[in-house]
Structure 1
Amino acid sequence: MTNDPGARGPSKQRRPTGISRAELEDRVRARREQFEEANERITARSGRNLLSAIAIGVALAVLMVVSLLFISELFLVFVGLITCVGTVELVGALKKSGRSVPVVPSVLSAAGVSVAAFYGGASGQWLTLLAGIGLVVLWRLVLLAAPAYRAGGVGQLLRDLTAAVLVQTYVVFLGSISILLVSQPDGRWWVLSFMVVVICVDTGAYAAGLNFGKHPMAPRISPKKTWEGFAGALLVALVAAVLLTVLLLHEEWWVGLIFGLVLTLTATFGDLAESLLKRDMGIKDMSTWLPGHGGFLDRLDSMLPSAAAAYVLYIIFS
């Protein structure tokens, strides 16, 4: 045995500290498979594709916020276009259920009411809406000259006219209220606030219902909507509404409680109302234009009645 300090013992083979490319690819593949499985479970439980829903929701929210904060006229164009598209969606869905609503005058009315709400105020909105309803009704009566539109007799005609009025009141009128509100002094902040609160309602209901939902709220209308989800929606909405009311709208905190409660009720009602309407027409979605959401109306069902509620609250408190 030598004491030579230069002598070396058996050399130890060092292990590489990194991982190989194959191992990295395996890990990425495993994580992707786990995520896809989780997404499939969420989709099966909620009825929506999570990734597509989030991506489209974020894109719509960004466009809405940018138009609200910088160019009000761009908000008019954006919401007016969505209102026209929603009108086409509902007219197409009604056609599948046997109701014939003229699409051209319906869209013309949607565009006209949107512009009138922005530049003419509430009076312009109402007058243009009444004129639009008259145009759609007259158009449908003129179509009676064609034999195909006389099938079903007076009963069918009354159903078609009722459906036409439904399109104008549900989509055109409610869709134009946010445009009317944004044209008011400081109205853009109320529009931004009510949209954020409604998004919080949808998010809170989705998260709470997905994790804790056991008791259906209206099983015959919307089986996936639960009381637990409603409680989660209310909690998140109240917190968001109080913060927005105090920091953005400069109102008292208790106004935020009213704001959050009212919008939770209207957003939930809007969701259930459209679910009932789709069940009556025998369809799952208004259209397939938005992957993960169905159609624009499927995304905005909570927003439409909430816009009307926000406008009333603006008149009361602002």
Structure 2
Amino acid sequence: MGAGLGAVAIGSLYFVEVLFLAVVIAAVGVGVAELVQSFAARDINVPMIPVLAGMAAMVVGAYYGGPAWLVGIFAMTVLVLMMWRMFRGTEGYVRDTAATILVTVYPSLLAAFVALLLAHPLDGPDRVVVFIATTVASDIGGYFAGISLGKHKMSPLISPKKTWEGFAGSALACMAVGGWLVAWLLEDDVWKGVLIGAVVVVFATLGDLVESVIKRDLGVKDMGSLLPGHGGLMDRLDSLVAALIPVWVLLTLLV
């Protein structure tokens, strides 16, 4: 399923951009549903339908209207969700609303930035490829360096499997792929891609750790079971959504 979804996503990038946005909305929607269900297991109520509607509106608005639309739709979504919860009474209002806003930001708002990348008038699809490939390189480099060289734990209380050696492998892979793709696809300086890779590895790693903190607080091992052996889709999206904003900022400013 994951490979098929990835093939559709990459193919649609260069031929039917709206289809790519639909894939993004579907994937993030599954991640949102997994988060909502995990919260529900701890009696934290997050209204799934309005959160999903707000997420889809942010992605579409970002693509067609740019950053201003994204900010406006996000603010309106938060306001509507705060009012939505009000009708369930006062007990647990702050707890439920805080969790709802968290889900509206992570992954919903963050994922909408991929639409901003795609909407670039000159080379939007190439920018998305740079982002995805560089972030995936972080996971791959970290995995192989971690299993072969990993000895020094990065954060044993949060994520016992993460090591500094794995982080170094992630950094090397990110900077190599970033430098290569920025030079090849975007026809710009290699150093800019290396810088983007260095920033990606930091935020992708922190995204993994944030996901681990959330799971530990909720008392779950995985966010879901959609991907056998890998947990839920949200367990695969954590590093991607965390790296999106810094990649968009750097590509906008530098390239």
Structure 1: which amino acid aligns with 2:16?
I
> CA offset at residue 57 of structure 1?
4.8
**Taking structure 2 as the reference length, what is the TM-score of the superposition?**
0.95
> CA offset at residue 276 of structure 1?
0.8
* Aligned partners of 2:180 and 2:193 also within 8 Å: yes
* Aligned partners of 1:190 and 1:310 also within 8 Å: no
Aligned partners of 2:30 and 2:2: how far apart in 1?
A: 17
* Aligned partners of 1:191 and 1:310 also within 8 Å: no
Aligned partners of 2:6 and 2:41: how far apart in 1?
A: 30
Match status 1:163 vs 2:108: no
Match status 1:210 vs 2:147: yes
* Aligned partners of 1:241 and 1:256 also within 8 Å: yes
Structure 1: which amino acid aligns with 2:110?
L
User: Hey, what does 2:20 align to over in structure 1?
Assistant: 75
User: Hey, what does 2:188 align to over in structure 1?
Assistant: 251
List gaps (5 residues or longer) in structure 2: none
Match status 1:124 vs 2:69: yes
Identity of aligned residues (%): 38
Matches within 5 A, 1:225-304: 225-304=162-241
> CA offset at residue 63 of structure 1?
2.3
Question: What SS does structure 2 have at the residue aligned with 1:234?
Answer: helix
How many aligned positions are there? 254
Deviations 1:163-203 (A, max 9, x none): 11101011110011101210112122111111001111100
Structure 2: which amino acid aligns with 1:250?
E
Deviations 1:124-150 (A, max 9, x none): 111111111122211111122xxxxx5
User: Hey, what does 1:92 align to over in structure 2?
Assistant: 37
Match status 1:66 vs 2:2: no
Question: What SS does structure 1 have at the residue aligned with 2:66?
Answer: helix
Aligned partners of 1:111 and 1:194: how far apart in 2?
A: 21
Question: What SS does structure 2 have at the residue aligned with 1:295?
Answer: coil
Q: CA RMSD in A?
A: 1.3
Q: Which has the larger radius of gyration?
A: 1
Matches within 5 A, 1:218-229: 218-229=155-166
Aligned partners of 2:100 and 2:196: how far apart in 1?
A: 32
> CA offset at residue 114 of structure 1?
1.5
Question: What SS does structure 2 have at the residue aligned with 1:225?
Answer: strand
> CA offset at residue 256 of structure 1?
1.5
**For residues 57 and 104 of structure 1, do their structure 2 counterparts lie closer, same or farther at Cα, with a shift above 3 Å needed?**
closer
Match status 1:141 vs 2:86: yes
> CA offset at residue 237 of structure 1?
1.4
> CA offset at residue 223 of structure 1?
0.4
Question: What SS does structure 1 have at the residue aligned with 2:88?
Answer: helix
List gaps (5 residues or longer) in structure 1: 1-55, 145-149
Aligned partners of 1:227 and 1:76: how far apart in 2?
A: 35
Aligned partners of 1:160 and 1:232: how far apart in 2?
A: 39
Runs (4+) of structure 1 exceeding 4 A deviation are: none
**Taking structure 1 as the reference length, what is the TM-score of the superposition?**
0.77
